[in-house]
Amino acid sequence: MRCDRYDTDLTAGAAGEAITRDLEAHLEGCVSCRERLAEKRALLESVDQVLRIIREHPPSEDEQLERVIARRFDFAEMAQRSLGLHWRKLTRAEQQEFVDVFTKLLKRNYLDQIKAYQNQEVLFTGERRDGEFAVVETRIVPRQGEPIAVNYRLQLSDGQWKVYDVVIENVSVVNNYRSQFNRVLARNSFSDLIRRMKEKE
């Protein structure tokens, strides 16, 4: 039976905060909470690796971010979702070409965007799981101005949680690209879209 008694504390513990004595004692006798703590840690790990680099910004930051993003982001899934119904119209070779170009474009844009939040406080504010899908909610707290909500949508793939969309202030990265691609493909060919994407790399 699921135990919700320490749900907030479990999320905090999974995010790296100290586990309270009450929770520690509870975990000894509650299999449900131990399992959920392990699940939460696995889920948050995918996002935490990115955030840790942003907080610490080491000398090799760009290289580290690229390695983490390559492991934790499902670019093929993001590419397919961003192309929507047009994906099925492509040959396999065209699909692979689109994934390759999209991956380079998204990596560059995401790196630039996420690095703009350097030296800001980043907080985990919650997580929700529904089967093989989940959302990790974070909030970036700048020194001046309003906090910025950045939520990561993840899917369980081959035993690992991988990001398939990032939602910044209620604006989905995947949906934003889909709107742009739809406008281009409404009047132009797939080759034209690829050419425009390469120009933005």
pLDDT (tens digit per residue) in 127-168: 888 989 999 898 888 878 889 899 999 998 888 889 999 999
2 lies in some domain:
no
Which residues, 6 or more positions from 88, have their beta carbon under 8 angstroms from its beta carbon? none
Q: Under a CB-based contact definition with an 8 Å cutoff, are residues 128 and 68 in contact?
A: no
152 lies in some domain:
yes
Neighbours of 93 (CB within 10 A): 8
Q: Under a CB-based contact definition with an 8 Å cutoff, are residues 3 and 87 in contact?
A: no
The pLDDT, as a whole number, for residue 82 is 97
125 lies in some domain:
yes
122 lies in some domain:
yes
24 lies in some domain:
yes
Neighbours of 172 (CB within 10 A): 17
The boundaries of the domain holding residue 196 are 7-200
The pLDDT, as a whole number, for residue 29 is 65
The pLDDT, as a whole number, for residue 1 is 45
Q: Which of the residues in the chain have pLDDT under 50?
A: 1, 6, 10, 18
196 lies in some domain:
yes
pTM of the model: 0.77
Domain tally for the chain?
Answer: 1
* CATH number (domain holding residue 50): 3.10.450.710
Q: Under a CB-based contact definition with an 8 Å cutoff, are residues 8 and 33 in contact?
A: no
1 lies in some domain:
no
By CB neighbour count within 10 A (0-12 exposed, 13-18 middle, 19+ buried), where does 50 fall? buried
The pLDDT, as a whole number, for residue 60 is 74
